[in-house]
Amino acid sequence: MRDALFEFLCRMGDNTLVLGHRVSEWCGHAPVLEEDIALANTALDLIGQTQMWLGLAAEVEGADRSADDLAMLRDVWDFRNLLLVEQPNGDFGQTMMRQFLFDAWHLLMLQALTDSTDTRIAAIAAKAVKEAQYHLERSADTVIGLGDGTAESHRRMQAALDLLWPYVGEMFVADAVDDSLCAAGIAPDPATLRAAYEARIQTVMAEATLTLPDTGFAHQGGRTGRQHSEHLGHLLTQMQWLQRAYPGATW
């Protein structure tokens, strides 16, 4: 059970870590100042949540590693994030589409985790769920605004949805880790989140005048670590650069 729990906590923490890093790449580059600040704040929330998830992962593992060690000293094959969150930022619309597709899942997952039989997990979820709610409000609004915007913004949002939708299916595929945590009441069966997720997506896409791709294909391999996309390695060379170049460096 300890191995499964560690694995699960890495999945939660790696999602927020990798997405937080991706979103932080916008700092100083967003189309307008307000969006720059909003993206930086979102990234900050995600990194803060990462400290809690990976902090608990390190504690559960009991191998004398810290949250920082897990974030900065693991290599690609040890990361357990969804493939969706490691995908490149693309344009602003693509970044916000990725954010919305993640936020809608993240909120449902965190809401379910507030009932976890593991009180440490329930506490982190109760803290993070307020932030996720706020993120979803903004990303959904932005997807609607840009989807139902100009011909150009609509075209870009539809292209982003077509590109990213095949990465959504991975969120709902259970494996042995999920089975054992679900049996212990620690985490939900991911498949049970799907109906509510799709209902939310359909409502927002209808309002955004965007069409969901007619495909059930799902890229997989991120949350199991079996095969990440090529993008994660490039991200890690940036994120982990300091600890790689100057091992053990501290503030």
Neighbours of 2 (CB within 10 A): 9
234 CB-near residues (< 8 Å, 6+ apart):
none
Residue among 130, 155, 226, 234 that touches other proteins (CB under 8 A): 130
Contact flag: residue 45 with other proteins (CB under 8 A): yes
Min. distance of Cβ 33 from other proteins in angstroms?
A: 9
Distance CA 152, CA 215 (A): 24
Min. distance of Cβ 53 from other proteins in angstroms?
A: 10
x-or-dash pattern for other proteins, window 138-177, by CB under 8 A?
Answer: x---------------------------------------
DSSP-H helix ranges across the chain = 2-24, 33-61, 67-73, 83-86, 92-113, 119-147, 151-164, 176-183, 194-207, 230-239, 241-245
Contact flag: residue 137 with other proteins (CB under 8 A): yes
Min. distance of Cβ 117 from other proteins in angstroms?
A: 15
Contact flag: residue 131 with other proteins (CB under 8 A): yes
Residue among 28, 34, 63, 246 that touches other proteins (CB under 8 A): 34
| Diameter over CA atoms, the chain | 54
Distance CA 79, CA 77 (A): 6
Min. distance of Cβ 96 from other proteins in angstroms?
A: 13
Contact flag: residue 119 with other proteins (CB under 8 A): yes
Min. distance of Cβ 227 from other proteins in angstroms?
A: 30
Contact flag: residue 42 with other proteins (CB under 8 A): yes
Q: Which C-beta is closer to other proteins: that of 10 or that of 46?
A: 46
Distance CA 128, CA 190 (A): 18
Give the sign of the dihedral formed by CA 131, CA 32, CA 87, CA 163: positive
Min. distance of Cβ 46 from other proteins in angstroms?
A: 7
Contact flag: residue 123 with other proteins (CB under 8 A): yes
Instruction: Check: CB of residue 46 under 8 Å from CB of residue 18.
Output: no
